[in-house]
């Protein structure tokens, strides 16, 4: 029998081609999985949100033991001044020069941050927004150079902007970025501009808009209605957080993450919000005259604590970030974070010896590893 070699070759080609289809699909799936499961390169940081930069031995040890690379330091606030009828920098940070040198010796990068009140942006126009950006950069540069700090690798703006203030804020952001890149003494050539991002700004991004920054810092705290007596915990509530972040993986900016480790007491009298009290501990309340119901303490008689007079039936709602709740939040964020976020920074708010006493280093280490 004579075999047609052309037919044999055609049959072999068609058969071989069909065999390669599933093989190619398997290889594609394998390499796709490898890419998607590549561990993130997580950098570690803390916020420092006090009026004076002075680090204790315990705080320095925590920075070393936790391998902290960056400390985000509030340089000053920006607020409206009624007397001057203009927006002015206030609450400028006081530096302890010894602490600064110790931090630099630990090779910790100091990142200047500026808090801008939303009210201040409501009271100015576009021209004043650009002028405010110039004031911010001028003062930040003066502080960096006076303390002889290395050129900043990042500068952060912290503002809970709204629909009514986004135009002014976004103008300010653009101007700040231009001015940063023009000052090579205070900012490195590759310095990044970052902005804090609140939960509502993720969920309602079409209304809130996206600032033209290099990256965002997602603030995973202060999510409930602080002044509502029915709120369980306005600092951290994972179930509440999930309502805002179901679309987190499509947020267009690269994101760093900030987790809360602080606590406070929310004060109510006659079911009316009176303020936040941070200097009364749970132990001090426990021995006072009153009773607990979950995290709500009710005074049973008139009492004075830390020079604060409380009346009978006044209430303090203890809000704190438990390790269990922090783990739930960290794992949820790590799962929802876009695969494009290959090198996120994870920060804790904030560096304080009393806070570190409540959150041992092994617990913080575990939270960092949630994002690996």
pLDDT at 9 over 70: no
Beta strands in 11-131 (DSSP E): 43-48, 52-53, 70-81, 86-90, 94-95, 109-116
* Nearest residue to 244 (alpha-carbon basis) of 261, 262, 221: 221
Kindly state the tokens that stand for 346.
Answer: 């994870």
In order of their start, the domains of the chain are: 41-262+321-369 (3.20.20.80), 264-318 (no CATH)
Q: How far apart are CA 4 and CA 20, in angstroms?
A: 24
* Nearest residue to 103 (alpha-carbon basis) of 45, 146, 156: 45
Mean pLDDT computed over 308-326: 97
Q: How far apart are CA 211 and CA 312, in angstroms?
A: 48
Task: Write out the DSSP string of 330-359.
Answer: HHHHHHHS-TT-SS-EEEEE---HHHHHHS
Kindly state the tokens that stand for 196.
Answer: 């804090």
Q: How far apart are CA 286 and CA 305, in angstroms?
A: 12
Mean pLDDT computed over 322-334: 97
Q: Where are the alpha helices (DSSP H) in 153-220?
A: 166-182, 199-203, 205-208
Kindly state the tokens that stand for 361.
Answer: 């280093």
Split at pLDDT 50, 70, 90, the class of 37 is low
Beta bridge partners of 314: none
Q: How far apart are CA 284 and CA 6, in angstroms?
A: 93
pLDDT of residue 14: 47
pLDDT at 10 over 60: no
Contact 151, 192 (CB under 8 A): no
Task: Write out the DSSP string of 255-308.
Answer: EEEEEE--EEEEEEETTEEEEEE-S--HHHHHTSSEEEETTEEEESS-EEETTE
pLDDT at 66 over 80: yes
Split at pLDDT 50, 70, 90, the class of 30 is very low
pLDDT at 29 over 60: no
pLDDT at 97 over 50: yes
pLDDT at 312 over 70: yes
Contact 345, 42 (CB under 8 A): yes
Mean pLDDT computed over 117-125: 96
Share of residues in the chain with pLDDT > 70 (%): 90
Q: Residues 151-187: pLDDT tens digits?
A: 999 999 999 999 999 999 999 999 999 999 999 999 9
pLDDT at 21 over 80: no
């Amino acid at each position: 029998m004579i075999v047609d070699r052309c037919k044999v070759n055609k049959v072999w080609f068609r058969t071989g081609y069909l065999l390669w289809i599933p093989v190619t699909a398997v290889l594609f799936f394998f390499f796709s999985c490898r890419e998607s499961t590549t561990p993130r390169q997580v950098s570690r940081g803390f916020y420092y949100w006090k009026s004076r930069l002075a680090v204790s031995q315990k705080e320095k040890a925590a920075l070393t033991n936790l391998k902290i690379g960056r400390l985000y330091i509030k340089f000053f606030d920006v607020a409206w001044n009624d007397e001057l009828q203009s927006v002015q920098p206030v609450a400028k940070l006081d530096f302890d020069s010894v602490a600064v040198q110790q931090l630099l010796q630990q090779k910790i990068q100091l990142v200047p941050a500026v808090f801008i009140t939303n009210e201040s942006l409501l009271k100015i126009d576009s021209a004043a927004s650009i002028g405010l950006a110039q004031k911010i950069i001028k003062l930040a540069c003066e502080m960096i150079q006076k303390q002889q700090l290395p050129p900043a690798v990042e500068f952060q703006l912290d503002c809970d902007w709204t629909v009514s203030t986004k135009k002014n804020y976004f103008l300010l952001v653009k101007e700040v970025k231009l001015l940063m890149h023009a000052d090579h003494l205070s900012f490195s050539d590759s310095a990044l501009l970052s902005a804090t991002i609140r939960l509502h700004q993720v969920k309602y991004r079409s209304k809130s808009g996206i600032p033209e920054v290099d990256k965002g810092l997602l603030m995973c705290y202060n999510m409930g209605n602080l002044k509502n007596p029915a709120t369980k915990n306005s600092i951290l509530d994972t179930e509440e957080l999930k309502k805002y972040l179901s679309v987190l993986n499509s947020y267009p900016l690269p994101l760093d993450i900030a987790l809360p480790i602080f606590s406070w007491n929310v004060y109510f009298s006659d079911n009316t919000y009176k303020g936040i009290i941070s200097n009364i501990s749970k132990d001090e309340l426990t021995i006072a005259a009153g009773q607990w119901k979950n995290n709500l303490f009710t005074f049973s008689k008139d009492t004075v604590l830390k020079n604060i007079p409380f009346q009978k039936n006044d209430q303090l709602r203890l809000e704190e970030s438990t390790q269990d709740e922090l783990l739930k939040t960290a794992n949820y964020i790590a799962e929802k974070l876009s695969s494009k976020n290959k090198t996120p920074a994870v920060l804790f708010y904030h560096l304080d010896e009393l806070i570190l006493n409540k959150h041992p280093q092994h617990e913080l280490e575990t939270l960092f590893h949630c994002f690996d």
